[in-house]
Structure 1
Amino acid sequence: MLKMHGFSARRGIDVLINKSLISISGDNHLEMHDLLQEMGQSIVHEQCTHNLGKRSRLWNAKDVYQVLKNRMGTTKLQAIHSDISTIPELQLNPDTFKNMHNLRLLKFSAQPNVDNKMHLPEGLESFPEELRYLYWERYPSESLPSEFSPHNLVELHMPNGKVKKLSHNGQFPNIEAIDLCWCTSLVQVPKSFMKNLDKLTRLELAGCSSLKASPELPRNLRQLDLSSCSQLTEVPDLSRCPNVEEIDLCRCTSLVQLPKSIFKNLDKLFRLQLAKCSSLKVCPELPRNI
């Protein structure tokens, strides 16, 4: 979020740590004391007590439901982060996000074994152009909105969604991470979509059981997860991706062989998983650094 506002993320985090406002855990996660978080939420709550859409941030599921249902979003809103498992059934309008021009973070998470409560019966016109981080668990549409201009998007997460084809007319010049894990209807990732994704370092497609082939991957990729892609019959030659560090192909039960030069130039590769690839008959020589 600091980088989104034009500040140096590393320097900003150091300042907050020095002021004892946040800390970094042993597993390298940012942590904040509950009381400090509650104080921040209270300040945001006081920004506008009568019009929820004029607050800068929304996290309470009931508030999020009211804003989306009644299309109360405004240019004041910068972040929505909520667990939508507890909200009533909600049919979103195509122009739900129309007035949220400054929305930078949108995260809808959901609890396991809870039916999806949010629906898009008429699709979605677009997401705000300022959006940097998009996380929508169980995304209820087969594709991204065609009018969405994703030039600012840095991370895209749609686990367990209904996405069928990852395609879009716009460019993703700043995308660094794509997560479509367990999108069981995903059948294709077109070559045209992956073109020019120069900043993409992480691609997670685990559990995409309808995916049969993976496209050519961008040069800067570091992490590739294709585990449990049970219909995947081929994987791309990764010799053009010298920065790859981790590859997970576990439970790719239809995978018969790997490209002969797949591990060529992968001097940074330190983690390779091929467990339960029951049909795999040919595997090239592994790099020495494994």
Structure 2
Amino acid sequence: MDLSYSDSLIRIPDLSSTAPDLEILRLKNCAILHDIPSSLEKLSKLIELDLSGCYSVRHCPEIPCNIRTLKLDGNGIEHLPSSIEHLSQLVEFSLKWCTRLVSIPNSIGELKCLEEIHLNGCSNLQSLPESIKKLSKLKQLDLSGCERPKCIPELPSCLKDLVASGCTSLEYASTSFILLEKEGVQRLLFAGCDKLDEKVTEDVFKAHLLG
């Protein structure tokens, strides 16, 4: 079901009774949509949900456990529920330009299938949880434009792509994941991070020369 760009859509009905086998629901850029029914979590076969550009959505809805792709870009949400730990099949989690978002729950560390996290443009995000190092399949982390975090905590050794350009308050980033003997990291971007400790730069160069 694709209802993207439905400018007049205010709410969606209880789909658990009318479309119980729904696998994909796209509501991208439904700018005045604000009512997401709690029954959404009953869609046990839903694997993709796109609520990008739904500016009026202020609270993250309860998400079905089998979801694999979750896009909440440009929403008005401030917090994510700790219940996201139940999204055991989630592979891609996108929160681009959620400028009201201030925190990520520590329970995100339970998402063992998660490969991509996109947080670029989350200008009010205060920090990343320490539990992020538990994401044993994480390959890509985009923090570009996250202006408030002062530190990037220890990251999982499987990470291939770290983008932290424009993180203007960033002073320290753990680089232990790039110094391990493994197939090399594909991309490390710290452009515009003027406060970054010199030790981080030294570690990046060391990893490059060794690799």
TM-score (norm 2): 0.83
Which amino acid in the other structure matches residue 176 of structure 1? V
The amino acid of 2:38's aligned partner reads E
- The within-5 A match list for 1:155-174 is 155-169=69-83, 171-174=86-89
8 A Cα contact 1:201 1:221, kept in partner = yes
Question: 2:116 matched to 1:235?
Answer: no
Which residue type is aligned with residue 196 of structure 2?
A: L
Residue 190 of structure 1 pairs with residue 105 of structure 2? yes
Partner residue, 1:252: 167
| Aligned-partner Cα distance in 2 for 1:88–1:225 | 29
Answer yes or no: is the 8 Å Cα contact 1:256–1:282 preserved in 2.
Answer: no
Q: Quick check: 1:242–1:267 contact (8 Å CA) kept in 2?
A: no
Asked if residue 118 in structure 1 is aligned to residue 33 in structure 2, the reply is yes
Contact preservation (8 Å) 2:90, 2:113: yes
Of all paired residues, the percent bearing the same amino acid is: 24
Question: Counterparts of 2:33 and 2:61 in 1: how far apart (Å)?
Answer: 16
Gaps of 5+ in 2: none
The 3-state SS of whatever aligns with 1:178 is strand
Deviations 1:182-234 (A, max 9, x none): 00111111112x13211111010001111111123212100000000011211
Aligned twin of 1:204: 118
5+ residue gaps, structure 1, are 1-79
The answer for the alignment partner of 1:91 in structure 2 is 10
Higher relative contact order (CA 8 A, sep 6+): 2
- Structure 2 Cα separation of the partners of residues 187 and 159 of structure 1: 14
Q: Which residue of 2 aligns with 1:270?
A: 186
Q: State the 4+ residue runs in structure 1 displaced beyond 6 angstroms.
A: none
Q: Take 1:91 and 1:134, find their aligned partners in 2: how far apart are those partners?
A: 17
Asked whether the 8 Å contact 1:213–1:234 carries over to 2, the reply is: yes
Q: TM-score, normalised by structure 1?
A: 0.62
Q: CA deviation at 1:116?
A: 1.5
Distance of 1:83 and 1:91 partners within structure 2? 12
Count of equivalent residues = 197
Output the CA distance in 1 between the equivalents of 2:159 and 2:26: 28
**Do the aligned partners of residues 166 and 90 (structure 1) sit closer, same or farther apart at CA in structure 2, a change above 3 Å counting?**
same
1:48-82 Cα distance to aligned partner (Å, 9 max, x none): xxxxxxxxxxxxxxxxxxxxxxxxxxxxxxxx124
Residue 247 of structure 1, CA deviation: 0.5
The aligned counterpart of 2:25 is 106
Aligned to 1:281: 197
- Mark the CA change 1:187 to 1:208 in structure 2 (over 3 Å): closer, same or farther: same
Superposition RMSD in Å: 2.2
Partners of 1:258 and 1:283 within 8 A in 2: no
Q: 2: CA distance between counterparts of 1:153 and 1:222? A: 19
Q: Report Cα offsets for 1:246-286 as digits up to 9, x if no partner.
A: 10000000111223635332643121111011222334211
Which secondary structure state, in structure 2, belongs to the residue aligned with residue 134 of structure 1? strand
